[in-house]
Structure 1
Amino acid sequence: MSDNLQLIDELLATIALIEVTPDVFEGKSHDYVGSRIFGGQVLAQAIMAAAHTLDKDKPCHSLHGYFLRGGDINQPVIYQVRRLRDGRSLSAREVTAIQYKEVRGKPPVEQVIFSMIASFSPMEDGLEYQEDMPVYPPPEDLLTEQDLKEENVGKVPEALKARFMRRRHVEIKPVKPRNPISPEPMKPKQANWLRIRELGNQPVAIQQALLAFSSDFYLVGTGLMSHGVSFMTSGLQAASIDHSMHFHRDFDLNKWMLYDMWSDTTSNAKGLNHGQFWQDGKLVATVQQEGLMRLRVPKS
């Protein structure tokens, strides 16, 4: 098996769920960002949990989720699905993600780590409009994220090198790479090309879950750009607070997609970030996320 196909298998395992009882599912936790579960993983698994309770001809068209607590990668996540509505065209699901915290000498305590409401409907013909796709250099002219890491790894502290060099399951090509070691303040706008090469012909629910998974890469970091701060800045505390997505049109993650991101405000230790996914000139999905951004300056 090629290294890329192994990554694909690992990625699909990331969003795979086991049915515990009707409308209750269990997902494994995976290490992407340290001891806490990567928000994109929880989001993707929640989409899969909801999709398991629906007909295949009803893909998700919108979702709104809140990250309520940091998830523990050493514990599985239980997804409870509540069927809010099943109409002729629209269906709605509420998904609650739960973990059980170990307390010494006491029974495990139930903690809700994420809550989402998502709406589903069949694709249908109707009024069509969109803005023009933004123009950026094509992916063929750009280096991969992994190539850029190889160029910069010598500047990374030894204790952080292994995590810095970890290969993502999604192939990413930044349009205008930013120096993560000593970033300069700049306009909070960035774009990446991304794809999941050799993903194959997957159901719509899996494609949507994987796009949601990918949407959590770089988005919070967009709001940090105007401050000359990155995830490697000492004293930074950053995390996703909420996440919304709207799926507009069909797409194929085997092919290159443009992820255009920007932030229009940071205040009150939070940043509001926006994103759009484009493919073949079509706007296929829109993302919005508020992120926690605290920078603790060491006392002199």
Structure 2
Amino acid sequence: MNSALKELLDLLDLEQIELDIFRGRSPEERFQRVFGGQVAAQALVAAGRTVPGDRMVHSLHAYFIRPGDPAIPIIYNVERVRDGRSFTTRRITAIQHGKVIFSMSASFHIQEEGVSHQAAVMPDVPGPEGLPTWHQRMLSVFGDEPSMRDWLAKPRPVDARYVNALPWEAERDPSLVTSDNLVWFRYDADLPDDPLLHIVLAAYASDFTLVDTVLLAHGLAWGSSGVSGASLDHAMWFHRPFRADDWLLYAQESPWSGGARGLARGQMFTPSGELAVSVVQECMIRVSGDVTKS
């Protein structure tokens, strides 16, 4: 287990400071704002701490309201909306500087038998083992550029391997522009069997590449062309048990963008082709300067 994953697991171990009130912190690095996947994952941990162990989260709906400040803790308030015979609902708000920065509703469900089907088909793509790592792909794009050296040297908690182009590659080569984004990912360690932990880690990873999917459709990339963006809202549905320390194919697409917003959808498949998670996110995309790409 690398140091970044150890730190992430530590960040997910929230401090309980009162009944249904928890405190979370951010990594020591001081980025412009807190990573949205971190806030969503910590909020889900807070909700899970208030739910009986026989119920597992099956859906969440969240809004990113204000940028998070990585220099101070985040307070998570959990509201016990409903405790039914088979479903439990929680509402979570994340607070900094006395203001709500994030809100989430999460629903938990007991295990039940029922009708089942799967119409979604996993894309036919190369397996992850033969694909270059994220670090190798980034080195092929930026080389040993001094301004990127420290950032690229940092360990990452998630092993992500792109099937298609990175946004920076599509920006340089218009033939690589696409509205689809296919990424294998896993946490490269033997994780505990706690099902909620694997769901929380999938929620954390789900926010990494959805905005990239919208950028790919326009041949745009972070750090150039005056591009800025942020997650606005985020919804996930968890269909069946899975393990975040095994590979998951995150098949994403962007069906629409306009009015400084973009929509991205994703499906996470197990290596055997089972649909484990569905994701939808709307993001903000703004481009300043004279940019004519579309």
TM-score when normalising by structure 2: 0.92
Check 1:8–1:39 CA distance in 2 against 1; reply closer, same or farther (3 A cut): same
Secondary structure of the residue that 1:289 maps to in structure 2? strand
The CA distance in 2 between the partners of 1:77 and 1:292, in whole Å, is: 23
Q: Do residues 7 (structure 1) and 12 (structure 2) align?
A: no
Q: Do residues 264 (structure 1) and 255 (structure 2) align?
A: yes
The CA distance in 1 between the partners of 2:150 and 2:290, in whole Å, is: 26
Deviation per residue, 1:62-104 (Å, 9 max, x gap) = 000000000000010000000000001000000000012xxxx
Secondary structure of the residue that 2:168 maps to in structure 1? coil
* Counterpart position of 2:125: 136
* Counterpart position of 1:176: 164
The CA distance in 1 between the partners of 2:194 and 2:78, in whole Å, is: 20
Runs of 4+, deviation exceeding 4 Å: none
Secondary structure of the residue that 1:169 maps to in structure 2? coil
Shift, 1:215, TM fit: 0.3
* Counterpart position of 1:106: none
Q: Which amino acid aligns with 1:133?
A: M
Q: Which amino acid aligns with 1:289?
A: Q
* Counterpart position of 1:189: 180
Q: Do residues 273 (structure 1) and 264 (structure 2) align?
A: yes
Deviation per residue, 1:214-259 (Å, 9 max, x gap) = 0001111101112110112241110000000000000011211100
Deviation per residue, 1:173-213 (Å, 9 max, x gap) = 11123262644441210111111121322311111111000
* Counterpart position of 2:277: 285
Deviation per residue, 1:151-180 (Å, 9 max, x gap) = 233274x33432244332011111123262
* Counterpart position of 1:74: 71
Aligned pair partner of 1:118 in 86, 97, 106 = 106
Aligned pair partner of 2:80 in 68, 80, 83 = 83
TM-score when normalising by structure 1: 0.90
Secondary structure of the residue that 2:257 maps to in structure 1? strand
Q: Which amino acid aligns with 2:53?
A: K
Q: Do residues 37 (structure 1) and 37 (structure 2) align?
A: no
Moved more, 73-82 or 221-230: 221-230
The CA distance in 2 between the partners of 1:127 and 1:191, in whole Å, is: 29
The CA distance in 1 between the partners of 2:29 and 2:55, in whole Å, is: 30
* Counterpart position of 2:134: 145
Check 1:261–1:90 CA distance in 2 against 1; reply closer, same or farther (3 A cut): same
Q: How much identity, in percent, do the aligned residues show? A: 37
* Counterpart position of 1:222: 213
Check 1:135–1:125 CA distance in 2 against 1; reply closer, same or farther (3 A cut): same
Aligned residues: 286
Check 1:48–1:60 CA distance in 2 against 1; reply closer, same or farther (3 A cut): same
Q: Which amino acid aligns with 1:284?
A: A
Moved more, 272-281 or 158-167: 158-167
* Counterpart position of 1:210: 201
The CA distance in 2 between the partners of 1:234 and 1:202, in whole Å, is: 44
Unaligned runs of 5+ in 2: none
Secondary structure of the residue that 1:121 maps to in structure 2? strand
Q: Do residues 238 (structure 1) and 220 (structure 2) align?
A: no
* Counterpart position of 2:51: 54
Shift, 1:132, TM fit: 2.1
Q: Which amino acid aligns with 1:225?
A: L
Q: Which amino acid aligns with 1:180?
A: W
The CA distance in 1 between the partners of 2:172 and 2:115, in whole Å, is: 43
Check 1:11–1:271 CA distance in 2 against 1; reply closer, same or farther (3 A cut): same
Q: Is the 8 A contact 1:150 1:165 kept in 2?
A: no
The CA distance in 2 between the partners of 1:8 and 1:34, in whole Å, is: 18
Deviation per residue, 1:105-158 (Å, 9 max, x gap) = xxxxx11100011100022221111122221111122111112123233274x3
Q: Which amino acid aligns with 1:18?
A: E
The CA distance in 1 between the partners of 2:204 and 2:172, in whole Å, is: 25
Unaligned runs of 5+ in 1: 101-109
